[in-house]
Copies of this chain bind each other. A is one copy, B any other.
Amino acid sequence: MTKLTLHEYPPSGNCYKIRLVAAHLGLPLERRGYDILKGETRTPGFLRDVNANGRIPVLQIGDRYLPESGAACFYLAEGSPLIPEDRFDRADMLRWMNFEQYNHEPNVATLRFWLAFAGEESLSDIQKALIPAKRAGGDAALDLMEAHLRDRPWFVADRFTLADVALFAYTHVAEEGGFDLAHRPAVQAWIERISAFPGHISIDA
């Protein structure tokens, strides 16, 4: 198979999604780290060679570069049980992956980054003013997940798919951003199911 290299910031949940998919599929992945707090993904070389958008993760496949975690996971998982064969289910998987990037990650992941990595004292006044809205948006996303998982073990197609991978990455560390999981038992049970899988790896592996 073509050599796979993950350009990443290891604590990022978006990067972890790709590592988790590769682990489940038994695919070897070289890793190259960048410190986003030091601007290492905004250097002229990175912008020219890896991603003009200045962001990680980027999955390098031979000499081609694929930014965006959802796209990279989809590339790796094509033809595997992590993507449902049924047309509606496959689209429904993308629906939850889009929900994660639009409604979950900008709230749950951003508050984790601001509070646990950057540090509240380093935030701008606008960022500080946004905390309540991001708290409410993240809680709404987690509540929606809780309601969905109350009746079913997985997000789509009654089995573990990329939708679960995408939502797991930042949900299982949501408490680092000050979100409460104790009162969301269906989400907690789903986290435990995923963590108990053979082949599962942790975010700090």
Interface set of A (CB-CB < 8 Å, partner B): 52-53, 61, 64, 66-72, 74-75, 78, 87-88, 90-92, 94-95, 98-99, 101-103, 106, 126, 129-130, 133, 144, 147-148
A103 to B129, CA, bound (A): 21
Known contacts A67-B99, A68-B98; A74 and B52 CB within 8 A of each other: no
| Nearest CB in chain B: distance from A67 CB, A | 6
Q: Which residues of B contact A148 (CB under 8 A)?
A: 52
A74 x B53 contact (CB < 8 A): no
4 nearest A-B residue pairs (beta carbon):
A75-B91, A71-B95, A68-B98, A71-B94
A71 to B94, CA, bound (A): 5
Closest B-chain residue to A62, C-beta based? B88
A94 x B68 contact (CB < 8 A): yes
Q: Which residues of B contact A144 (CB under 8 A)?
A: 52-53
For the residues of A in contact with B, the DSSP-based class is helix
Q: Which residues of B contact A69 (CB under 8 A)?
A: 98
A70 to B75, CA, bound (A): 16
User: What are 7 A-B residue pairs whose CB atoms fall within 8 Å in the complex?
Assistant: A52-B144, A53-B103, A67-B99, A75-B87, A75-B90, A98-B98, A102-B102
A98 x B75 contact (CB < 8 A): no
Q: Which of B61, B68, B95 contacts A88 (CB 8 A)?
A: B61
| Nearest CB in chain B: distance from A179 CB, A | 18
A98 x B95 contact (CB < 8 A): no
Known contacts A71-B91, A88-B75, A92-B66; A99 and B129 CB within 8 A of each other: no
B98 x A101 contact (CB < 8 A): yes
A75 to B87, CA, bound (A): 7
Q: Which residues of B contact A66 (CB under 8 A)?
A: 88, 91-92, 95
Q: Which residues of B contact A61 (CB under 8 A)?
A: 88
